[in-house]
């Protein structure tokens, strides 16, 4: 019986601005043989991002492209697109990259760019999501992986996980609880994409195994998980 040739690993680029714990979850997934991706490059807009150290420790090429060296968002994104283009990514992974991207950049990588956001989108796009969930008195909060489109944190969602908001929570405690879920969500979404199971269709819908996701897949842990 003929055996299918293994699918080549998907070339990816990861963009970060900070600690890089989501990047680490992806690196760990690769090292565990669970993710068929080749992280060719990690880019940070901040030279002091700890995620750069994580990448270098894993032998991944890193670049710093500081927004302070550019006169405008358009010029920065043009340079970023040129840098990324040289690494031919099949997927661009935004992992705590704290920049708003221009429409031209988003269009260039349309359908092959994912983001993770620390809220139950469409709730709380933008910054300070944990504080906002606490201020609103929400009983639950969470994280979402979504395709990136021109709308800030507004592209079609793929995966979500909810966490409870507990008595005595502050933003830091809540953020840590959410982050632990992010580390489950992102490798899975990337795995689906790398396996060809997840894609964005021409009308802007996220498809999983060929079926439109009317709602994100819910990866919330239930008792007994």
**Hey, which residues are catalytic here?**
117
90 binds ligand GRF (CB under 6 A): no
Q: What is the side-by-side order of every strand in the sheet holding 198-200?
A: 198-200, 206-208, 211-212
Least Cβ distance, residue 202 to ligand GRF (angstroms) = 27
The DSSP annotation for 8-54 comes to PPEEEEEEESS--HHHHHHHHHHHTT---EEEEEEEESSTT-HHHHH
H or E, element range at 85: helix 73-85
Separation CA 199–CA 205 (nearest Å): 8
Site track for ligand GRF across 135-174, x = CB under 6 A: --------x-------------------------------
Mapped onto helix, strand or coil, the DSSP state of residue 93 is strand
- The tokens for 11 are 């070339």
Q: Which residues in 108-127 contact ligand GRF (CB under 6 A)? A: 116-118
Of 29, 89, 96, 187, the one binding ligand GRF by CB under 6 A: 96
Least Cβ distance, residue 50 to ligand GRF (angstroms) = 8
* Residue showing the smallest CB distance to ligand GRF in the complex: 96
> How big is the site for ligand GRF, counted in residues (CB under 6 A)?
15
Asked if 43 and 202 count as a contact pair (C-beta separation under 8 A), the reply is: no
Residue 37 or 143: the one with the smaller Cβ distance to ligand GRF is: 143
Q: Which residues bind ligand GRF (CB under 6 A)?
A: 16, 18-22, 51, 95-96, 116-118, 143, 179, 182
């Amino acid at each position: 019986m003929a055996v299918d040739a293994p699918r080549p690993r998907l070339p990816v680029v990861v963009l970060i601005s900070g600690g890089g714990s989501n990047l680490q979850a992806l690196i760990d997934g690769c090292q565990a043989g669970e993710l068929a991706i080749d992280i060719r490059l990690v880019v940070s807009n901040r030279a002091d991002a700890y995620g750069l150290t994580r990448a270098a420790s894993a032998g991944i090429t890193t670049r710093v492209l500081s927004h302070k060296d550019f006169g405008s968002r358009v010029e920065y994104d043009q340079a970023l697109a040129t840098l990324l283009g040289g690494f031919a990514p099949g997927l661009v992974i935004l992992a705590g990259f704290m920049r708003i991207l221009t429409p031209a950049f988003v269009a260039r990588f349309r359908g092959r760019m994912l983001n993770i956001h620390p809220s139950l989108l469409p709730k709380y796009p933008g910054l300070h999501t944990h504080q906002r969930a606490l201020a609103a008195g929400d009983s639950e909060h969470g994280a979402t992986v979504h395709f990136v489109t021109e709308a800030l944190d507004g592209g079609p969602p793929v995966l979500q996980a909810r966490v409870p908001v507990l008595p005595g929570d502050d933003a830091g405690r809540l953020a840590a609880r959410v982050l632990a879920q992010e580390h489950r969500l992102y490798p899975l979404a990337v795995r689906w994409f790398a396996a060809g199971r997840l894609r964005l269709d021409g009308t802007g819908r996220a498809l999983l195994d060929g079926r439109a996701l009317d709602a994100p897949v819910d990866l919330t842990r239930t008792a007994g998980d």
